[in-house]
């Protein structure tokens, strides 16, 4: 949806105050042996072993037919694995050579570099269009290269590899660096200078993680070029363009720093913002540009990930985010250091230490720059002291997200609207963790396919409101209709007698109110609470749903209470998605008592059990968060149209 031109000029204003430029210095090249020889011995041995292991594996073969598979059947996975495996292998070989410095991996490194240089396009088939959200071109665009996420990532990998190995490459044959620079000119520098890609921003259309992600990697390409490749004026133009794009990205954020793409996308949104600013600070060192990390907005964006953590590597998730996220790395650690955020710094270091020894080497990461900064901060993160600072409750007004905590529960509830990046139709939904374990859940998203980002997105079951913890309304109350609900989600979405939430900014919560602190009670026993109140009828935009007031409250030390009051003319069915198997029974006072395995229970007042459905987890991406089937409890709201759920 179009909007007013951005009024935020934070990065640009900091940049415009600078004058001097400096050569790239964040990581030394291979000739600076003191730097690489000082790595811990165990780290060097691990990096060399990883390189040796990858050296024995064959390079992937990528055919045109592999590229075309996406246009034929929407499958992304097979081509992307062939594509990414080359880059992962190359990174391992380079890191091994950087620490060993004997030339033993050089021939294999050159094989990988030349294979990637010879690819007809670095753009993924799923991104193969110059126009945002337009139909992808079937064939790789050779004449007009597209800078997508992984075109930019690939450019950064080759540019940084050339920078790190430049002394060795020049000694072997200067044509190697010349060829890399030629490809960078064709596929990164010329397109970036001559075409306005949508992710650069225009002040009218919403930005997402693409903006800092691509911008960071274009900067990495430009700033690592040898002296004389660009003039000072040209470098300043790259920095100015980056500043403008980053401001368009920041315009999507409220002052509270909440990422509406969720915790999983923080690694590509907030962290790539850090990466771009980190590169700019280096290029502009000696100026006041580094003070940008003291800005409240930047600090809030940095600290967001800590507040979203439940325990271990489980995170509060909405939209396309998974409930289990990768471990934190040197990027979060450095973000915390630059922002002087001790909680984030210690959190990142502690989470790094919980990672497996293999995982600390970032085996799945294709960005070589991340590998190097991980290695340079490895020892420091291993020794960084633990923090005893605990997360407090939070309310992100910009997105309507509340997080409440006590010693037992972590509750998250979402108001907002259905126009978030990577949106699911989930206004009013909530998740609950008990003792760090999932009780009431948000599924996340399955493996990305062509349909995931198409006009048929909301035919997918994980996207629909009926599979989130919100009500679904039935116009014609027939047993046949209700008993078939959820059996065929694509058909349900287009069935006029089934009313679910729809996507778009206009589908939103109203009368949103966050309350926290002490709550006085009539029995004289006050308690501490965090509570989110809202009317979610606007997320359905149906005249038969007049009002739907929802209150989601953490009564600290007791549990969670969800109270729904509905005014309308249809049957309301409440969904509860659970990870533990539900076992229903009637309680003594005629309330419905649903046991959730051995972990918790739900006491229902004003509603009756309609059905419990079981959904096996068969998708590989969903399996990363959920090891076994999940369940949907459907509760029919009673005639009084008021239901209370006491969850403990």
SS3 call for 472: strand
> pLDDT tens-digit profile of 563-601?
999 999 999 999 999 999 999 987 667 789 999 999 999
Smallest Cα–Cα separation from 54: which of 95, 93, 105?
93
Higher pLDDT, 525 or 323: 323
> pLDDT tens-digit profile of 471-500?
999 987 666 567 778 889 999 999 989 999
Averaged pLDDT for residues 537-549: 97
pLDDT over 80 at 521, yes or no:
no
Provide the pLDDT confidence category of residue 390 given band limits of 50, 70 and 90.
confident
Averaged pLDDT for residues 604-625: 95
**In this predicted structure, what is the pLDDT of residue 523?**
74
Provide the 8-state DSSP code for 341. -
Provide the pLDDT confidence category of residue 505 given band limits of 50, 70 and 90.
very high
How far, CA to CA in Å, does 51 sit from each of 62, 74, 98, 166, 363?
22, 34, 10, 19, 11
SS3 call for 286: coil
Tokens of 116: 């990637």
**In this predicted structure, what is the pLDDT of residue 469?**
98
pLDDT over 80 at 423, yes or no:
yes
**In this predicted structure, what is the pLDDT of residue 1?**
34
> pLDDT tens-digit profile of 173-198?
999 999 999 999 999 999 999 999 99
The residue behind tokens 């633990």 is: 386
pLDDT over 90 at 367, yes or no:
yes
**In this predicted structure, what is the pLDDT of residue 481?**
66
Averaged pLDDT for residues 86-99: 98
**In this predicted structure, what is the pLDDT of residue 4?**
46
pLDDT over 70 at 248, yes or no:
yes
Averaged pLDDT for residues 449-473: 95
Lowest average pLDDT, out of 233-237, 260-264, 369-373, 633-637, goes to 260-264
Share of the chain above pLDDT 90, in %: 92
pTM: 0.95
Tokens of 304: 């967001």
Higher pLDDT, 627 or 390: 627
> pLDDT tens-digit profile of 310-359?
999 999 999 999 999 999 999 999 999 999 999 999 999 999 999 999 99
Averaged pLDDT for residues 34-50: 98
**In this predicted structure, what is the pLDDT of residue 3?**
42
**In this predicted structure, what is the pLDDT of residue 480?**
59
Smallest Cα–Cα separation from 304: which of 292, 320, 316?
316
Cα gap 150→110, rounded to integer Å:
20
Q: What is the distance, to the nearest Å, from the Cα of residue 555 to the centroid of all Cα atoms in its chain?
A: 30
**In this predicted structure, what is the pLDDT of residue 522?**
67
pLDDT over 90 at 70, yes or no:
yes
Q: What is the mean pLDDT of the chain?
A: 95
Three-state SS string over 307-368 comes to HHEEECCEECCCCCCCCECCCCCHHHHHHHHHHCCHHHHHHHHHHHHHCCCCHHHCCCCCCH
Q: Which residues contact 173 (CB under 8 A, 6 or more apart)?
A: none
How far, CA to CA in Å, does 583 sit from each of 595, 599, 631?
5, 12, 11
Share of the chain above pLDDT 70, in %: 98
**In this predicted structure, what is the pLDDT of residue 131?**
95
Smallest Cα–Cα separation from 51: which of 107, 116, 5?
107
């Amino acid at each position: 949806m179009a909007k007013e031109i951005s009024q935020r000029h934070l990065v640009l204003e900091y940049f415009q105050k600078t004058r001097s430029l400096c050569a790239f210095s964040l990581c030394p090249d291979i000739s600076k042996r003191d730097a690489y020889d000082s790595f811990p011995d165990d780290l060097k041995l691990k990096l060399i072993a990883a390189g040796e292991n990858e050296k024995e594996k064959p390079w992937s073969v990528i055919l045109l037919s592999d590229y075309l598979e996406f246009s034929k059947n929407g499958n992304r996975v097979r081509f992307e694995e062939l594509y990414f495996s080359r880059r992962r292998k190359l990174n391992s070989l380079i890191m091994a050579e950087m620490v060993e410095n004997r030339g033993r991996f050089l021939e294999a490194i050159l094989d990988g570099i030349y294979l990637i240089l010879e690819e007809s396009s670095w753009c993924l088939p799923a991104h193969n269009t110059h126009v945002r959200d337009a139909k992808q071109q079937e064939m790789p665009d050779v004449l007009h290269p597209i800078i997508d996420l992984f075109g930019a990532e690939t450019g950064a990998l080759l540019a940084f590899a050339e920078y790190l190995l430049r002394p060795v490459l020049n000694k072997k044959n200067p044509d190697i660096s010349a060829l890399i620079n030629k490809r960078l000119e064709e596929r990164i520098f010329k397109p970036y200078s001559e075409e306005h890609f949508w992710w650069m921003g225009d002040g009218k259309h919403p930005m997402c993680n693409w903006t800092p992600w691509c911008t960071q990697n274009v900067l990495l390409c430009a700033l690592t070029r040898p002296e004389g490749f660009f003039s000072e004026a040209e470098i300043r133009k790259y920095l100015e363009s980056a500043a403008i794009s980053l401001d368009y990205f920041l315009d999507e954020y409220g002052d509270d720093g909440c990422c509406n793409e969720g915790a999983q996308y923080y690694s590509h949104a907030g962290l790539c913002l850090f990466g771009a600013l980190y590169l700019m600070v280096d290029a502009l060192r000696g100026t006041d540009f580094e003070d940008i990390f003291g800005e409240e907005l930047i600090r809030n964006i940095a600290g967001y990930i800590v507040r979203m953590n439940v325990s271990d590597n489980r995170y509060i998730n909405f939209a396309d985010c998974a409930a289990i996220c990768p471990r934190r790395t040197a990027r979060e650690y450095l973000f915390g250091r630059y922002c002087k955020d001790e909680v984030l710094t210690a959190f990142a270091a502690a989470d790094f230490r919980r990672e497996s020894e293999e995982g600390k080497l970032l085996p799945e990461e294709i960005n070589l720059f991340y590998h190097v900064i991980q290695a340079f901060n490895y020892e420091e993160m291993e020794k960084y002291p633990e923090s005893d600072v605990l997360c407090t409750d939070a309310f992100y007004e910009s997105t309507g997200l509340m997080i409440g905590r006590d010693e037992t529960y972590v509750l998250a509830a979402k108001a907002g609207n259905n126009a978030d990046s990577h949106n699911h139709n989930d206004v009013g939904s909530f998740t609950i963790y008990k003792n760090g374990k999932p009780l009431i859940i948000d599924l996340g998203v399955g493996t990305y396919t062509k349909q995931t980002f198409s006009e048929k997105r909301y035919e997918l079951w994980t996207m629909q409101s009926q599979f989130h913890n919100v009500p679904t309304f039935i116009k014609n109350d027939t047993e046949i209709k209700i008993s078939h609900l959820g059996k065929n989600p694509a058909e349900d979405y287009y069935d006029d007698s089934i009313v679910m939430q729809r996507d778009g900014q206009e589908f939103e919560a109203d009368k949103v109110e966050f309350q926290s602190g002490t709550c006085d009670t009539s029995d004289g026993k006050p308690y501490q609470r965090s509570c989110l109140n809202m009317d979610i009828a606007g997320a359905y935009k149906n005249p038969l749903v007049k009002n739907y007031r929802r209150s989601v409250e953490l009564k600290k030390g007791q549990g969670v209470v969800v109270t729904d009051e509905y005014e309308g003319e249809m049957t309301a069915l409440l969904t509860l998605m659970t990870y533990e198997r539900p076992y229903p029974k009637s309680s003594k006072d005629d309330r419905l008592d649903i046991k959730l395995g051995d972990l918790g229970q739900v006491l229902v007042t004003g509603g009756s059990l309609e059905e419990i459905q079981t959904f096996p987890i068969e998708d590989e991406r969903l399996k990363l968060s959920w090891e076994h089937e999940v369940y949907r409890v459907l509760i029919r709201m009673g005639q009084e149209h008021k239901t209370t759920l006491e969850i403990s």
